[in-house]
Amino acid sequence: MFTFTNQFISNAKNAEFLKATMMGPNAMRVAEELTSHLHINEYMRILDLGCGCGLSTFLLAKKFGACVFAADLWISPTENYERFQAIGIADKAVPIFVDATKGLPFANGYFDLLFTVDAYHYFGDTAAMLPSLIPFVKKGGYIAVAIPGLNYEFEKNVPAEMQPFWNSEMARTLHSLAWWKDLWKRAEGIELVDSREMACCKQAWQEWLTAYHPVVAGDIKMMEAEGGKYFNLIQLIAKII
C-alpha cells in the first residue's frame, strides 16, 4: 500500500525533504493509504484542499500523474510554487490561496475528486461545510478526507494524562469516526461509500515526530502521554450523486 512513500523515504535527501515539509502525521503516507481506496488516473483534476507544503499534492501528481489544484490557507502559493518547481511537479500542480470557510473560487462540477489530508478537521466541523464543497465536484466524483481523530468522544471527560495537552482547538477539531459519520450523513447529494480508521496511524505519527517543525517537541511529549490509547486517523469517502 505504501510503495511510493517507502521508496521515496529510502533516499536520504528525500527523507530530509520530508522532515522539513511535514506539518502533521506524514501526509505522504496518509495520502497514499487514502488513494488506495480510490481509482485515480492521469486524466483526473483533483482539488487538494488544505495541501500545506504539498506532500499529498506531490503524491497525486507523481504517482498518478493527475492535475492537482494545491489549495491552502497558511502556506502561500508562491512558497508552494517554488517547492513544486524544485521537486518537478510545477507542470501538474497549481498552487492557489483558499480559505475554505469563505467559499471556493472554482466552477461547479470542476473536479473529479476533492482530496484533503490532515486539514479538513480545521474547517469541516460544521453542518454547512460539506454541502458547500459538494457542488465543486462533478456527479460520480468523490470527496475523500483523512484527518486525525479520537477513538471515542472525550466530551467533558478528557483523560487525566491528556489534560496538560488538551485545549479548545483540539476539543473543536478532534472527533470520533461515529461523530464524523453522523455529521456527513446529514448532507444531501452524497453517498458515504467508505469510513474507517486508517492503518498507517502509528507509522505516520512516528514519522511526524522526527520532523523539524517547531511544534514537534510538544507533540513528542503529548504522544508519550497518549501511549496509543486515544488518537486515530479517520478516513471518509463520499460519492457525489
Ligand X SMILES: C[S@@+](CC[C@H](N)C(=O)[O-])C[C@H]1O[C@@H](n2cnc3c(N)ncnc32)[C@H](O)[C@@H]1O
Backbone angles phi, psi at 97, to 5 degrees: -85, 130
What string marks each residue from 15 to 44 as x (binds ligand X by CB under 6 A) or -? -------xxx--x-----------------
User: Given the complex with ligand X, which of 161 and 173 has the nearer CB atom?
Assistant: 173
Q: Which of 60, 68, 73, 187 binds ligand X (CB under 6 A)?
A: 73
d(CA 60, CA 56): 6
- Could you say which of 2, 8, 106, 123 contacts ligand X (CB under 6 A)? 123
Q: What is the CA radius of gyration of the chain?
A: 17
Residue 212 found at the interface with ligand X (CB under 6 A): no
Residue 77 has which C-alpha cell?
502559493
Q: Does 230 bind ligand X (CB under 6 A)?
A: no
- C-alpha dihedral sign at 118, 122, 127, 130: negative
- Hey, what's the cell of 191? 453517498
Residues between 124 and 183 that touch ligand X (CB under 6 A): none
Q: How far is CA 154 from CA 55, 59, 171, 235, in A?
A: 31, 34, 8, 20
Question: What are the percentages of helix, strand and coil residues in the chain, rounded to 5?
Answer: 40, 25, 35
Residue 196 C-alpha cell reads as 474507517
Closer by beta carbon to ligand X, 161 or else 216:
216
Stretch that binds ligand X, among 95-103, 159-167, 181-189, 195-203 (CB under 6 A): 95-103
**Under rule CB under 6 A, residue 206 binds ligand X:** no
Residue, CB closest to ligand X: 52
When binding is defined by CB under 6 A, the residue of 34, 51, 70, 150 that contacts ligand X is 51
Size of the site for ligand X (CB under 6 A): 22
Closest alpha carbon to 225 in 158, 169, 171 = 158
Q: Is 50 in the site for ligand X (CB under 6 A)?
A: yes
Instruction: Tell me: does residue 56 bind ligand X (CB under 6 A).
Output: yes
Q: Which residues pair with 96 in a beta bridge?
A: 71
CB of 179 to ligand X, least distance (A): 19
Q: Which residues bind ligand X (CB under 6 A)?
A: 22-24, 27, 50-52, 55-56, 72-75, 98-101, 117-119, 122-123
